[in-house]
Amino acid sequence: MNEQQNVELVRQAYAAFANKDLEHVLMCVAPQVEWEIPAVPKLCFTGKRHGREQVAEYFRMNGELQDVREFSPKEFIAQGDKVVVLGHGAWTVRETGRDFESDWVHVFTLAGGQITAFREFLDVHVAVDAFQRFPLTEGTGAAPPAPH
């Protein structure tokens, strides 16, 4: 596939994700895909995954733990077998009710008309804070007082 075809495949995967069509997303990835989200302590859906089944599990856990308020791929950059996507996202953590948002970068590697590797970069600090029951008070390193 050429660079434009690679970008089109990545766009199709994003469109399927936006439409909550996980089956189509998974058909865009190779059976032995390498999938990496920044590892965040105590967040079970983060870290490295291998294969479609583990990627499906990632999407399931991600969807159970947080709601997507915004997910906007903004710029697509293709070179060779890579597609880099710059975007922005906003989420709400279901357990804590806290919101977080971050710009993100996704790096896709493609071969044979499928995504063979995916890597995400984003501000994990804001995610960690949102998932904590009692986020650290900014600048003090101490937890806020318990609610009355």
List the pLDDT tens digit at each of the 148 positions of the chain: 899 999 999 999 999 999 999 999 999 999 999 999 998 777 788 899 999 999 999 999 989 999 999 999 999 999 999 999 999 999 999 999 999 999 999 999 999 999 999 999 998 888 888 888 765 555 444 445 445 4
What residues are paired with 68 via a beta bridge? 91
Amino acid at 96: T
Q: What does the DSSP assignment read for the chain?
A: --HHHHHHHHHHHHHHHHTT-HHHHHHHEEEEEEEEE---TT-TT-EEEESHHHHHHHHHHHHHHEEEEEEEEEEEEEETTEEEEEEEEEEEETTT--EEEEEEEEEEEEETTEEEEEEEEE-HHHHHHHHSSSPPPTTT-SPPPPP-
Q: Is residue 102 part of a domain?
A: yes
Q: Is residue 74 part of a domain?
A: yes
Q: Is residue 138 part of a domain?
A: no
16 is in which domain, residue-wise? 3-131
Q: Is residue 82 part of a domain?
A: yes
pTM for the full model? Answer: 0.85
Q: Is residue 15 part of a domain?
A: yes
Q: Is residue 71 part of a domain?
A: yes
The number of folded domains in the chain is 1
Q: Is residue 88 part of a domain?
A: yes
What CATH number has the domain bearing residue 118?
3.10.450.50
| Residue 47, Ramachandran bin (φ over 0: left; ψ between -120 and 50: alpha; else beta) | left
